Structure 1
Amino acid sequence: MATKRTPVVFIHGLWLHSTSWRGWAERFREAGYEPLTPEWPGVPETVLAARRQPEAQAGIGLAEISEAHVRIIRELETPPIVVGHSVGGFIAQHLLGQGWAAAAVAICPGQIKGVKAIAPAQARSAFAFLRNPANTKRAVSLNQAQFRYGFANAVSLKESDDLFAAWTIPSPARPLFQLALGNFTPNSAAKVATDNETRGPLLLLSGKLDHTVPDALTRSTLKQYRKSGASTDYQRFDDRGHSLIVDHGWPELAETSLAWLTKSGFPET
């Protein structure tokens, strides 16, 4: 009789398409998991189609992204592992805190409510979009120079350009505003149940060279969980930037995540 596989839901962040998880999905399947790579609301199935239809996801926010993943999780027989990057890392924490996931890996996660650390590099990465409030209702794109600075500063220029060509898509700017202003907004969508004692284990991964989500933010996120006795781990990669899930070094991140899941008692059988 075939053994049921533990599902893993991969959640991307701003400006990357769900197909950028392809290598991760294959590796997790090899390790005995059942991977799912759902898209954000309004995002077409391919990179090319997403570039041609940016208006389809304009105005989408954190709540809509989270709710879309909850609808998928409701259809599963068992709670999944969730693995998220950037805004997807925020969503992974939110789902875990609400009891929708068995465990979560949050990679360079978006800034949750309560995190007050900030760095000049982060401000530079986000300012081009945050300076115009009208962007909350728009889908916005990175140009090559912005991608190089915000995502791919830790790899060669050629690899940066190749990654930009392969994976980048327009994304709604609203989540960027919601995360940046979470500490100033009552009932903010950026709030996570960091005090949940009954949630599953959480792993926070960061890149020391990350300009979009500097390591200081991830370490500050870790501190937000200090009031919970639930398992929370952290690991930093000193030579990695924000592109760490798609650049040449992604297998190291995937193997680290798999090793941590094994240590945490997964996959369940």
Structure 2
Amino acid sequence: MQYKCWDEWRTYFESKGYPTIAPPWPHKNDSPETLRNSHPNTAIASNRLSALTDHFDNTVRQLPEKPILIGHSIGGLIVQLLLQRGLGSSGVAIHSVPPQGIITFKFSFLKAGWGPLGFFTPVKKSFLLSFRQWQYAFTNGMDC
């Protein structure tokens, strides 16, 4: 299964001659409805940066050539880490989260990341954003 949110980007890049993949994160390869119904999901909650980076490292190493890596949020940080490992020809980090130990006190970041990034939330339970929280954190309040 591929992440549907990348479909328009995939169509665009493929129309320019670039083959694309949008692999899901571990434990997130079901439909949105199935994932919502599985909440709270301890397997999803167990995803950690090092394991995610290794997961995508393995995916990239199976490709016939070094790809252009693109990621958003935590995916943007993973792009940077994979580039550091020499696994991409180039990369695009879209609104990347900072690495551990680097934090901003900008209110909009704290508000958007309070739940999904685990600020004062249980680490063994997945966090399910409400639609309104998702709009704020990922589409900047845009009507969807």
Do they fold alike, i.e. is TM over 0.5?
A: yes
Q: Does 1:111 align with 2:98?
A: yes
Q: Which residue of 76, 99, 117 maps to 2:86? A: 99
Aligned to 1:41: 26
Q: Does 1:130 align with 2:115?
A: no
1:195-248 CA distance string (max 9 Å, x none): xxxxxxxxxxxxxxxxxxxxxxxxxxxxxxxxxxxxxxxxxxxxxxxxxxxxxx
Moved over 6 A (4+): none
Shift of 1:139: 1.0
Higher RCO (Cα < 8 Å, 6 or more apart): 1
**Alpha carbons 2:53, 2:82 under 8 Å: kept:** yes
Aligned to 1:6: none
Q: Which residue of 102, 122, 132 maps to 1:145? A: 132
**Alpha carbons 2:77, 2:96 under 8 Å: kept:** yes
Alignment of 1:16-27 (within 5 A): 18-27=3-12
1:77-101 CA distance string (max 9 Å, x none): 1111110011111111110111111
Shift of 1:34: 0.8
Structure 2: tracts of 5 or more residues without a match: none
User: CA 1:94 to 1:107, structure 2 compared with 1: closer, same or farther past 3 Å?
Assistant: same
Structure 1: tracts of 5 or more residues without a match: 1-16, 160-269
What is the aligned length?
139
User: CA 1:152 to 1:119, structure 2 compared with 1: closer, same or farther past 3 Å?
Assistant: same
- 1:96 and 1:19 map into 2 onto residues whose CA distance is 24
Q: Secondary structure at the match of 2:139?
A: coil
Q: Secondary structure at the match of 1:147?
A: helix
**Greater C-alpha radius of gyration:** 1
1:132-161 CA distance string (max 9 Å, x none): 3xx2222111012212322233523xx2xx
Shift of 1:113: 4.2
User: CA 1:126 to 1:117, structure 2 compared with 1: closer, same or farther past 3 Å?
Assistant: closer
User: CA 1:97 to 1:45, structure 2 compared with 1: closer, same or farther past 3 Å?
Assistant: same
Percent identity over the alignment is 26
Q: Secondary structure at the match of 1:66?
A: helix
Q: Secondary structure at the match of 1:32?
A: coil
Aligned to 1:78: 65
Q: TM-score, normalised by structure 1?
A: 0.48
Aligned to 2:54: 67
Alignment of 1:1-269 (within 5 A): 18-54=3-39, 55=41, 56-113=43-100, 115-128=102-115, 129-132=118-121, 135-156=122-143, 159=144
Greater strand fraction, Structure 1 or Structure 2: 1
**Alpha carbons 1:125, 1:150 under 8 Å: kept:** yes
Shift of 1:127: 2.8
Shift of 1:58: 2.2
Q: Secondary structure at the match of 1:23?
A: helix
Q: TM-score, normalised by structure 2?
A: 0.85
Two-structure CA RMSD over aligned residues (Å): 1.9
Shift of 1:116: 4.2
